[in-house]
Amino acid sequence: MKRNGEPVAAVVPVELYRQWQRRRAAFFETMRLAAERSGVASEEEAMGLALEAQRSVRAQK
């Protein structure tokens, strides 16, 4: 199925779809646990740390 010439849907076997769902859930659970362990208090604080790291890397170039 396409909209404006771009694909918008795909038909896949149900088991493949379920596998994707499990992997996605596992990924977000891993990210949640990592955030808990990092001690970062909020999404805003995490974004600030990410931007600071990005600036540092770019300054080294």
Total domain count, the chain: 1
| Three-class secondary structure of residue 12 per DSSP | coil
Task: Decide: pTM greater than 0.75.
Answer: no
Q: What is the pLDDT of residues 10-50, one digit of tens each?
A: 999 999 999 999 999 999 999 888 878 887 778 888 888 88
**Structural domain containing residue 31:** 2-60
pLDDT at 36: 82
